[in-house]
Chain A
Amino acid sequence: MEFVGILWTEIIMRPMINSIALLHVLLFDSLGLSIIAFTFVISLLMLPLTIRQTRQMRAMSELQPKVKALQEKYGKNGDRRKLSQETMGLYKQAGVSPIGCLGPMFIQMPVWIGLYQAIFKAVPPTPEGLASLSKAFYSWNPAQASVPLSSSFVGMDLVGLVSTQPIPYNFLLPVLVGVSMWVQQKITTMPSPDPKQHQTNQMMLWMMPIMFAFFAFQFPAGLAVYILFSNLIRIGIQFLMTEPGKRGTLFRLRTTAPQPAVAAATAGRGTSEGDKEKSIDGDATVHGQDGSRGHRPRARHSRAQTRRSRNRRR
Chain B
Amino acid sequence: MPRPATGAGTSQRRRGLAGFAAIAFALFVITSTACVGNLSPGGGWASPVPAGGWIYQASRNGQLFRMGARTGEVDQSWHYPQGKPFGVIYGTPLVTEKAVYAAAYTCRGDQCNAKVFAIDVDTALPVWSEQAFGVDTEIVGPLALHGNTLLFGTSNIGRDKTPGGFLYAIDATPDADKPLAERVGNRLKWRLPVDGKVWGGVTVDGDVAYFGAMDRTVYAVNVSDSIPAAADPARERVLWRFTSNGAIVSKPVVFGDKVYVGDFDGKLYSLDIRSRKGDSTSKTLDQGREWVYEAGAWVWSQPLIHDGVIFFGTLGGQVHAVDPASGRSAWPSPVKLEGEIIGRPEIVRGPGGQLLAVPSNKEDVWLLDLRSGQQIGEFVTRAGVAASPVSREGFVFIHTLDDKLQTFAVSSRARVNCIETVDRKACS
The answer to whether B30 and A112 have CB atoms under 8 Å apart is: yes
Cβ-neighbour of B315 out of A134, A164, A194 (below 8 A): A134
What 0/1 readout, one digit per residue, does chain B (20-41) give for beta carbons within 8 Å of chain A?
1011101111110111001111
The answer to whether B12 and A98 have CB atoms under 8 Å apart is: yes
Give the chain A neighbours of B13 by CB distance below 8 A. 196-197, 200
What 0/1 readout, one digit per residue, does chain B (142-179) give for beta carbons within 8 Å of chain A?
00000000000000000101000000000000000000
Give the chain B neighbours of A194 by CB distance below 8 A. 5, 9, 12
Cβ-neighbour of A129 out of B6, B38, B316, B361 (below 8 A): B38
Give the chain A neighbours of B228 by CB distance below 8 A. none
Q: Contacts A84-B8, A109-B26, A145-B246 given; indicate if A126 touches B42 (C-beta within 8 A).
A: yes
Name which residue of chain B comes closest to A109, CB basis: B26
Binds A, one of B62-70, B93-101, B106-114: B106-114
The answer to whether A207 and B27 have CB atoms under 8 Å apart is: no
The answer to whether A208 and B110 have CB atoms under 8 Å apart is: no
Could you tell me the distance in whole angstroms from the C-beta of A199 to the nearest C-beta in chain B? 9
Cβ-neighbour of B35 out of A109, A195, A218 (below 8 A): A218
Most chain A Cβ neighbours within 10 Å, of B27, B315, B340 = B27
The answer to whether A164 and B38 have CB atoms under 8 Å apart is: no
The answer to the question of B309 belonging to the interface, with a C-beta cut-off of 8 Å to chain A, is no
Name which residue of chain A comes closest to B296, CB basis: A139
The answer to whether B9 and A196 have CB atoms under 8 Å apart is: yes
The complex places the Cα of A201 from the Cα of B20 at a distance, in Å, of: 11
Give the chain B neighbours of A83 by CB distance below 8 A. 6-8
Which residues of chain A from 189 to 221 have a CB within 8 Å of any chain B CB? 192, 194-197, 200-201, 204, 207-208, 211-212, 215, 218-220
Q: Contacts A84-B8, A126-B40, A194-B5 given; indicate if A148 touches B197 (C-beta within 8 A).
A: yes
Which residues of chain A from 161 to 178 have a CB within 8 Å of any chain B CB? 161, 164, 166
Could you tell me the distance in whole angstroms from the C-beta of B18 to the nearest C-beta in chain A? 8
Give the chain A neighbours of B361 by CB distance below 8 A. 131
The answer to the question of B15 belonging to the interface, with a C-beta cut-off of 8 Å to chain A, is yes
Cβ-neighbour of B30 out of A74, A116, A128, A195 (below 8 A): A116
Which residues of chain B from 346 to 362 have a CB within 8 Å of any chain A CB? 361
Could you tell me the distance in whole angstroms from the C-beta of A240 to the nearest C-beta in chain B? 24
Cβ-neighbour of A113 out of B29, B246, B300, B316 (below 8 A): B29
Q: Contacts A125-B39, A200-B17, A260-B2 given; indicate if A74 touches B7 (C-beta within 8 A).
A: yes
Name which residue of chain A comes closest to B9, CB basis: A194
Give the chain A neighbours of B27 by CB distance below 8 A. 211-212, 215
Binds B, one of A5-13, A19-27, A152-160: A152-160
Give the chain A neighbours of B90 by CB distance below 8 A. 127
What 0/1 readout, one digit per residue, does chain A (116-128) give for beta carbons within 8 Å of chain B?
1100100011111
The answer to the question of A313 belonging to the interface, with a C-beta cut-off of 8 Å to chain B, is no
Most chain A Cβ neighbours within 10 Å, of B17, B31, B159 = B31
The answer to the question of A255 belonging to the interface, with a C-beta cut-off of 8 Å to chain B, is no
The answer to the question of A87 belonging to the interface, with a C-beta cut-off of 8 Å to chain B, is yes
Give the chain B neighbours of A188 by CB distance below 8 A. none
Name which residue of chain B comes closest to A80, CB basis: B7
Q: Contacts A67-B8, A145-B245 given; indicate if A161 touches B34 (C-beta within 8 A).
A: yes
Could you tell me the distance in whole angstroms from the C-beta of A293 to the nearest C-beta in chain B? 18
The complex places the Cα of A282 from the Cα of B23 at a distance, in Å, of: 34
Could you tell me the distance in whole angstroms from the C-beta of A254 to the nearest C-beta in chain B? 21
The answer to whether A112 and B7 have CB atoms under 8 Å apart is: no
Number of inter-chain CB pairs below 8 Å: 165
Give the chain B neighbours of A70 by CB distance below 8 A. 7-8
The answer to the question of B297 belonging to the interface, with a C-beta cut-off of 8 Å to chain A, is yes
The answer to whether A161 and B110 have CB atoms under 8 Å apart is: yes
The answer to the question of A304 belonging to the interface, with a C-beta cut-off of 8 Å to chain B, is no
The complex places the Cα of A202 from the Cα of B196 at a distance, in Å, of: 50
The answer to whether B6 and A116 have CB atoms under 8 Å apart is: no
Give the chain B neighbours of A212 by CB distance below 8 A. 27
Q: Contacts A131-B340, A148-B247, A197-B9 given; indicate if A160 touches B110 (C-beta within 8 A).
A: yes
The complex places the Cα of A72 from the Cα of B11 at a distance, in Å, of: 16
Give the chain B neighbours of A230 by CB distance below 8 A. none
The answer to whether A215 and B110 have CB atoms under 8 Å apart is: no
The answer to whether A219 and B15 have CB atoms under 8 Å apart is: no
Give the chain A neighbours of B395 by CB distance below 8 A. none
The answer to whether A131 and B315 have CB atoms under 8 Å apart is: yes
The answer to whether B26 and A131 have CB atoms under 8 Å apart is: no
The answer to whether A145 and B265 have CB atoms under 8 Å apart is: yes
Could you tell me the distance in whole angstroms from the C-beta of A195 to the nearest C-beta in chain B? 5
The answer to the question of B117 belonging to the interface, with a C-beta cut-off of 8 Å to chain A, is no
The complex places the Cα of A144 from the Cα of B90 at a distance, in Å, of: 24
What 0/1 readout, one digit per residue, does chain B (170-210) give for beta carbons within 8 Å of chain A?
00000000000000000000000000110100000000000
The complex places the Cα of A88 from the Cα of B12 at a distance, in Å, of: 12
Q: Contacts A71-B5, A147-B264, A148-B214 given; indicate if A109 touches B22 (C-beta within 8 A).
A: yes
Name which residue of chain A comes closest to B316, CB basis: A134
The complex places the Cα of A178 from the Cα of B3 at a distance, in Å, of: 34
The complex places the Cα of A43 from the Cα of B9 at a distance, in Å, of: 31
The complex places the Cα of A116 from the Cα of B39 at a distance, in Å, of: 12
The complex places the Cα of A260 from the Cα of B28 at a distance, in Å, of: 38
Name which residue of chain B comes closest to A148, CB basis: B214
Could you tell me the distance in whole angstroms from the C-beta of B141 to the nearest C-beta in chain A? 10
The complex places the Cα of A9 from the Cα of B342 at a distance, in Å, of: 22
The complex places the Cα of A144 from the Cα of B11 at a distance, in Å, of: 49
The answer to the question of B396 belonging to the interface, with a C-beta cut-off of 8 Å to chain A, is no
Give the chain A neighbours of B41 by CB distance below 8 A. 126-128
The answer to the question of B390 belonging to the interface, with a C-beta cut-off of 8 Å to chain A, is no
Q: List 29 A-B contacts (CB under 8 A).
A: A68-B9, A71-B7, A98-B12, A109-B22, A113-B30, A127-B41, A127-B140, A128-B41, A130-B199, A134-B298, A145-B246, A145-B265, A148-B197, A152-B161, A160-B110, A161-B34, A161-B110, A164-B159, A194-B5, A194-B12, A196-B4, A196-B5, A197-B9, A200-B13, A200-B17, A208-B23, A218-B34, A218-B35, A219-B31
The 8 A-B pairs of least Cβ separation, nearest first, read A87-B8, A83-B7, A134-B315, A218-B31, A160-B110, A260-B2, A120-B38, A215-B27
**17 other A-B residue contacts (CB within 8 Å) besides A112-B30, A127-B41, A134-B298:** A60-B12, A70-B8, A71-B3, A84-B7, A87-B7, A88-B8, A109-B22, A112-B26, A127-B45, A127-B90, A145-B264, A161-B34, A161-B110, A164-B110, A197-B13, A215-B28, A260-B3
